[in-house]
Structure 1
């Protein structure tokens, strides 16, 4: 009986991993950085990525873990940061992503001193990249997530070249909206040390908090794409992209 129950639990875990996912690694300036290994203890792990514990989504836009996923904790002595020049490209590699409907969004946040000791939900985030409905209609068109799948489950963004040096988080987020009126948020955070001679910092309406940036009343969050088969526009949630 115990053996059968264990097999059932394992099968459930495998099905959940297959259905959902997260960022598994990063490529920056030709160097690969392994991500945190979900479903494993953080003890002994070393990564530029913050801890995330499950492939399952967050489904509430006010979830306290929305900044960097559950639970978004620092790895302590195992927490690393990648040194990156402003203007560089960062590629995030996801697992075999199954959802083609929904936007891709990439944010950054300047840490208050060292990122390793910063609390992501207390920081001000700005968006550096996004892709929503690229062409076609809501239920059948080409989306940012469809492009991610077509590009070997990866997404490449450029850090604004004018961004001031310092320690930052980079936050990749997929918002899957293939389930009617039930958003699925998949945020992942990694730590960067930005170098360069830039001096620019976003302000005002470019800055948001997580949670706080989204609500179910946003047209791009609480949406049923299947009830609008002929609509060919989509409003990506969150602030406008800051380009420096």
Structure 2
């Protein structure tokens, strides 16, 4: 049983009843908080009720390795790592959400994290007109920070690899620009709020272990996954925005579910 399914499902039913057209539901939550599992369960729940639903992950909008290498060369080396704003195709995301809101058929992209590349278009999910699109991601709906908040590094990654703040300011500018345009297309926003950032590393480690196990089952090389040191550094890319979300988003999300370290709902 997914603890968040009923409260989010019940709220979404009310939002669908009040909507004048297709509904774009945003689900935000730190890595490992259960967003993808919840989104898939919601699609199944609403499909059983005759509601045309599909899910799009922000992760499926990632730029591939070569495109990020260009960002790393032209803007800052930290953009070689996928995750933060600027490492997604926000313009394609806007076009997809516009098509859904217009009630037209659309192809939903998919990204393969093991190969670090978008899947070919023939592997995308083609959907007809939808009643509900669930758009989930770790920073879905995030807003930029004030310039003064960017001055001091929040962790060793920023201190050692972004001492001049070039990377974090570019990320923040993306949140204020193309990502604001993307997130403004969301009709309702749900936040799965982790108890604090310290639990995110463990949650993300569980995801990596699951990926490693899946690759082994598929006969693929699990060496493509991250070891503990690489994972520690990877998670630090997400820390600033995750902390900001946990501070400011609960006041404006349409529904906030506060989770404990085991992902059970507190409130």
Structure 2 length-normalised TM: 0.24
Greater helix percent: which structure? 2
Greater strand percent: which structure? 1
Structure 1 length-normalised TM: 0.25
Structure with more contact order per residue of length (Cα contacts < 8 Å, sep ≥ 6): 2
